C-alpha cells in the first residue's frame, strides 16, 4: 500500500496469554461490542476475523520470513481498495517449531487493531474450557487467530475529530478561549497536515488554523499525558466544549486519517459539523510504552492501514 510492504505471521495466540496480560492492550473495550463478536465466534465455532498484533522486531523471524517469501505465494491478488495481498504457507515443521519458540521468548505482544475481537475470541476460548469436563489444555479453543507484524513495519495513521457545535461560543470566542493554552496561527482556508507532536490543525467558519500546545500544558514524561489526543481531549473538548466522555457523547464523531483532510473540511462546510480537529498520529513507540506501563489510550486514538482481510484463513475451534 502506497509503496509500503508489511509481512505478518498468521498464528494461534494463546488464550491464557491474553488473560494474564502477556498480550497487551492499549484501549478499553465495551462489553456490548465484546458480546456481539462472541456470538459470531460461538455460532461459527471458528475465528474468521484475524486480530492484528505487533511485536518487537526480531532478526531471526525476519530471516525465516525472507526465506518463505522468496517462494511462489499460495494466493496473490489485489483487493477492491487497491491493496496487494500475497499469502504463503510455511511447509517446514522445523520453521514452525522455531517460530513458536521465538514467540515464546518475546516478552509481550501488542494488540494493534482488534481489541474487541481479541477479547471475544479469548473469552469464548475460556468459556469452552470451563464447559468442557474433559478439558486438557491443548484443544484448538485454547488459541485464537492473530496476524503478527514487526513494529517497525507498521504505520499508525491519524484519527481525527469533528464536533457538532461550539458549546454556545462564536468562532472568534472559541479561538480566544483556545489561546489560553495554545499558540493559534491562521493558515488560510485549507486544512494543513500537522507536522509534529503537539501541533494540530483546526477548521471552523471557513478558516483553518495551526494550533500548537504551549509548554507546561502537557507532560512528555507521562506516556498518556504527552499524547495529542489527551491534550485536545482535556484542553479543547472538555475545558472549552464540555465534551467529557468521548465514547458516549453524541456531539463528537471520529474520522480515520485514510479519508483525508478534505473529508473533515467537507463535514464542516456542509453545516453538519462546526469544528474539525486534525491530529498528529501516534507512534508505535508511544503505543508500546503505554501498553507496557499498563495505561489505556483515550478512545479512537489509532488507525491502522491496510486492514486485514477476513476469511483468508479460518481457525476452527473444534
Domain with CATH 3.30.1760 in the chain: 159-280
d(CA 142, CA 135): 10
In tens, the pLDDT along 60-114 reads 999 999 999 999 999 999 999 899 999 999 999 999 999 999 999 999 999 998 8
318 confidence band (pLDDT: 50, 70, 90): confident
pLDDT, one tens digit per residue, over 117-162 is 999 999 999 999 999 999 999 999 999 999 999 999 998 889 999 9
Residue with cell string 480537529: 277
* pLDDT at site 96: 97
End-to-end CA distance of the chain: 35
Question: For 223-261, what is each residue's pLDDT tens digit?
Answer: 888 899 999 999 999 999 999 988 788 999 999 888 889
Longest dimension (CA), the chain: 69
Supply the pLDDT for residue 29.
Answer: 82
Q: Which fold has domain 159-280?
A: 3.30.1760
Query: Looking up cell 463528537, which residue turns up?
Result: 252
Say what the pLDDT of residue 193 is.
92
Average of per-residue pLDDT values in the chain: 93
**CB proximity list for 278: less than 8 A, separation 6 or greater:** 158, 160, 191, 193, 194, 200, 201, 202, 203, 257, 261, 264
Q: What is the dihedral of CA 117, 118, 119, 125, to 10 degrees?
A: 100
Q: What is the pTM of this model?
A: 0.83
Which pLDDT belongs to residue 257?
A: 84
Residue 166 has pLDDT above 90, yes or no: yes
45 in Cβ contact with 103 (< 8 Å): no
Amino acid at each position: 500500500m502506497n509503496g509500503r510492504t508489511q509481512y505478518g505471521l498468521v498464528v494461534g495466540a494463546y488464550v491464557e496469554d491474553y488473560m494474564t496480560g502477556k498480550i497487551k492492550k492499549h484501549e478499553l473495550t465495551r462489553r456490548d461490542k465484546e458480546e456481539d463478536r462472541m456470538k459470531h465466534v460461538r455460532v461459527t465455532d471458528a475465528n474468521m476475523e484475524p486480530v492484528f498484533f505487533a511485536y518487537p522486531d526480531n532478526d531471526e523471524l525476519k530471516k525465516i520470513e525472507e526465506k518463505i517469501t522468496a517462494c511462489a505465494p499460495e494466493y496473490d491478488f489485489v483487493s477492491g481498495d487497491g491493496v496487494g495481498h500475497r499469502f504463503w504457507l510455511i511447509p517446514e515443521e522445523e520453521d514452525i517449531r522455531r517460530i513458536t519458540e521465538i514467540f515464546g521468548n518475546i516478552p509481550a505482544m501488542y494488540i494493534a487493531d482488534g481489541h474487541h475481537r481479541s477479547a471475544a475470541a479469548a473469552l469464548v476460548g475460556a468459556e469452552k474450557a470451563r464447559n468442557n469436563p474433559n478439558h486438557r489444555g491443548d484443544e484448538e479453543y485454547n488459541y485464537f487467530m492473530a496476524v503478527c507484524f514487526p513494529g517497525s513495519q507498521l504505520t499508525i495513521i491519524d484519527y481525527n475529530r469533528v464536533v457538532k457545535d461550539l458549546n454556545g461560543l462564536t468562532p472568534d470566542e472559541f479561538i480566544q478561549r483556545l489561546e489560553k493554552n495554545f499558540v493559534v496561527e491562521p493558515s488560510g482556508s485549507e486544512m494543513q497536515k500537522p507536522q509534529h507532536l503537539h501541533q494540530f490543525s483546526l477548521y471552523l467558519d471557513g478558516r483553518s488554523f495551526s494550533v500548537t500546545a504551549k509548554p507546561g500544558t502537557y507532560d512528555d514524561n507521562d506516556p498518556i499525558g504527552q499524547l495529542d489526543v489527551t491534550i485536545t481531549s482535556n484542553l479543547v473538548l472538555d475545558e472549552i466544549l464540555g465534551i467529557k466522555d468521548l465514547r458516549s457523547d453524541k456531539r463528537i464523531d471520529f474520522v480515520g486519517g485514510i479519508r483525508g483532510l478534505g473529508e473533515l473540511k467537507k463535514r464542516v462546510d456542509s453545516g453538519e459539523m462546526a469544528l474539525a480537529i486534525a491530529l498528529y498520529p501516534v507512534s508505535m513507540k508511544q503505543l508500546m510504552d503505554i501498553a507496557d506501563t499498563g495505561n489505556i489510550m483515550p478512545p479512537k486514538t489509532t488507525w491502522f492501514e491496510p486492514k486485514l482481510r477476513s476469511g483468508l484463513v479460518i481457525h476452527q475451534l473444534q
